[in-house]
A and B are shown apart, each in its own frame.
Chain A
Amino acid sequence: SSELTQDPAVSVALGQTVRITCQGDSLRSYYASWYQQKPGQAPILVIYAKNNRPSGIPDRFSGSSSGNTASLTITGAQAEDEADYYCNSRDRDSSGRVFGTGTKVTVL
């Protein structure tokens, strides 16, 4: 099965911009979706189909993709953005799904 690799942790100053990346072979064929998870809570979808936001997600969240890498960017990070972020995509054979290893974002 495929693997999606993320940096374990990143930090960002309040109001600044942070980019989280997700790498994997399946991303050459399929878009990534991105999930935010705060402690003790279920994940919530923040970006789907490369760069689409569900209703209620602030526009400071954006997505992009190039080659085998998908990225989530938070422009003007807020204290409430401190959370774990996971990417997800189809597996290479398209019938399954795979989650990234997760990135902990700290807002300083």
Chain B
Amino acid sequence: QLQLQESGPGLVKPPETLSLTCTVSGGSISSNNYYWGWIRQPPGKGLEWIGSMYYTGNTYFNPSLKSRISISVDTSKNHFSLQLNSLTATDTAVYYCARLTKSYDAFDIWGQGTMVTVSS
């Protein structure tokens, strides 16, 4: 059973950089059947797609965040990471990682999410 687990700091100061890692267990990140994505949800609000990546390193970003984000993969550790810079309070959210299965064209497995608060 494949599982995803987010890890990272719960509190970050503005305008620092947020770094989150999603560790994949029970399966390989190096599969041509999947993309791997980051999604966030501010308190009381809806879901926002941040970006996705392929195990080869190809990345796709939300245009509204593109200038501030990077996503990378470490296949040797079976994890992928998100960096979001120039943080403000509006970046406070639960951050989820998820697997997108190409044949489904849908995010079929999600991590439990990690709450990140941006505050001085």
Contacts and interface: CB of A to CB of B under 8 A. Distances in A.
A binds B: yes
Interface of A: 1, 30-31, 33, 35, 37, 42-45, 48-49, 52, 54, 86, 88, 90, 95-102
A96 B105 CA distance: 12
A54 B49 contact: no
B112 A1 contact: no
B112 A96 contact: no
Given A31-B105, A102-B46, A97 B52 contact: yes
A52 B49 CA distance: 22
- Contact residues of A: prevailing secondary structure: strand
B96 interface: yes
B47 A102 contact: yes
B111 interface: yes
Tell me the interface secondary structure of chain B in the complex: strand
Given A1-B63, A96-B61, A96-B62, A42 B96 contact: yes
A43 B106 CA distance: 12
B63 A96 contact: yes
Contacts of B111: 42
Given A98-B49, A101-B46, A49 B110 contact: no
Given A99-B39, A99-B47, A99-B49, A42 B106 contact: no
B74 interface: no
Interface string B59-94: 011111000000000000000000000000000000
B104 A43 contact: no
Contact of B104 (A49, A86, A99): A49
18 contacts: A33-B106, A35-B47, A42-B111, A43-B47, A45-B104, A45-B108, A49-B104, A54-B108, A86-B47, A88-B107, A96-B52, A96-B61, A97-B37, A99-B39, A99-B46, A99-B48, A101-B46, A102-B47
